[in-house]
Structure 1
Amino acid sequence: MTARTSRGRRPGAPDTRAEVLAAARTSFAEKGFRGTTIRAVASAAAVDPALVHHYFGTKDDLFLAALQMPVDPRELLAPVVAQGPDGAGERLLRIFLSVWDDPDTQVQLLAVVRSTLDADGTTLLKDGFIPVVVGPVLTQLVKDRPEVRIPLVASQVVGLIVARYVIAFPAMAQMPAEDVVARMGPVLQHYLTGDVP
């Protein structure tokens, strides 16, 4: 009796998940979020697309996994959204700072940010992370004109990350979290719900 040779794509193996992630990172970096498909990632990793869905769920989830985020921003921001737009700017900053000021996650987050600020990564930040991950969450907090409001909020948050954590500009890096919330919270709130030209 001869052994049957298997045909088709190989099933999941211990290293398959890592190979799918590597293929996804390459695709997201080269083609951006919109140009990447689950089918193309599966093909590059030599697995069935169903296996990619099994490991990672949606394309959004695969994108977050490829970025190696230590936390899921959608889950973090869910309580902010649940309480509605009033006071959302301050709540958003409190959650943001609680995660970024935590030594256990800060190192990982810095690695993610530095990788998205290089030449290939800027596409991921501009075309993927902000419109796909953060945008849909923040849209639930804005009263109108999300195409104007969300980039304004994102610019403030990205600026805060760079000043406080990447460059570690002393005046920002040493500022107590509650002072950051008190000073920047109203700005974010204005961008979320105030009048914008």
Structure 2
Amino acid sequence: MTSEAPAPRRRGRPPRAQAEAGPGARERILEAARAEFAQRGYDKTSVRGIAKAADVDAALVHHYFGTKDEVFEAAVEMTLEPVQLVPLILGAEDDIDGVGERLARYFIGVWENPATRAQLLAVFRSALTHEAAAKVLRAFVLRRVLERVAADLKVPDARLRAELAASQMVGIAVLRYVIKVEPLASADPEEIVRMVAPTLQRYLTA
């Protein structure tokens, strides 16, 4: 009597024991990824290192997220929460005049929050030094957030407007939080919102 051959394993999927590596395995991996990217930057972070920090097999990281770029994108998404962000920026249908202020207030607010600032610093520093990280950030901020906002506002040249708004916000982030140029670095957040909001409003709706 011959024994039955083992069932073939699905390509790209880890063994069942790995896939069931305890409750919240995906969340543990994502938190570990955020910490690794924040501490080591994009170049020095590896899938193996993320797996070790999360106490799982590296195959499980690939199972949930795929490549390192995809883990990085998931970490960005976890920090910025685009599902909540886009409706928040758009506001009510009859309140498009406040879109610039809402965008500026959210952007400055998420940077001023210590819980998210370290993650954003890691994202921006990685994007400044590594093209793969920059590509992820560009695609995420533009395609997932600002292009959707501009498209929903039904204005001409929506993509160009989104890129102009992104250039304004990224410039502020780099100067204020990454290289800390004064007096911008120590300016009151409310003053920044007040001065930047009209520019964002013009880019997106004028």
TM range (shorter): 0.5 to 0.7
Indicate conservation of the 8 Å contact 1:88/1:141, yes or no: no
Task: Check if 1:80 corresponds to 2:89.
Answer: yes
Q: Which position in structure 2 is the counterpart of 1:183?
A: 195
Task: Check if 1:14 corresponds to 2:25.
Answer: no
Aligned ranges 1:13-92 → 2 under 5 Å: 13-14=20-21, 17=26, 18=29, 52=64, 64-67=73-76, 69-83=78-92, 84-92=95-103
Q: Which position in structure 1 is the counterpart of 2:52?
A: none
Q: Which position in structure 2 is the counterpart of 1:161?
A: 173
CA distance in 1, matches of 2:136, 2:80: 17
Q: TM-score, normalised by structure 1?
A: 0.68
Instruction: Tell me the matched-pair count.
Output: 164
Query: CA shift at 1:103, angstroms?
Result: 1.0
Indicate conservation of the 8 Å contact 2:150/2:159, yes or no: no
Q: Provide closer, same or farther for how the CA distance between residues 71 and 130 of structure 1 changes in structure 2, counting only shifts above 3 A.
A: closer
> Mean Cα displacement is larger for which, 104-113 or 142-151?
142-151
> Mean Cα displacement is larger for which, 183-192 or 80-89?
80-89
Q: Which position in structure 2 is the counterpart of 1:111?
A: 122
Note the alpha carbon deviations across 1:32-88, whole angstroms, 9 max, x for none. Answer: xxxxxxxxxxxxx878x9x75xx89xxxx9773154642313412322213342111
Q: Which amino acid aligns with 1:165?
A: Y
Q: Provide closer, same or farther for how the CA distance between residues 137 and 177 of structure 1 changes in structure 2, counting only shifts above 3 A.
A: same
Greater helix fraction, Structure 1 or Structure 2 = 2
CA distance in 2, matches of 1:97, 1:146: 23
RMSD: 3.5
The answer for unaligned runs of 5 or more in structure 2 is 43-57
Helix, strand or coil at the partner of 1:5: coil
Helix, strand or coil at the partner of 2:96: coil
Q: Which position in structure 2 is the counterpart of 1:95?
A: 106
Q: TM-score, normalised by structure 2?
A: 0.65
Q: Provide closer, same or farther for how the CA distance between residues 68 and 62 of structure 1 changes in structure 2, counting only shifts above 3 A.
A: same
Q: Which amino acid aligns with 2:81?
A: D
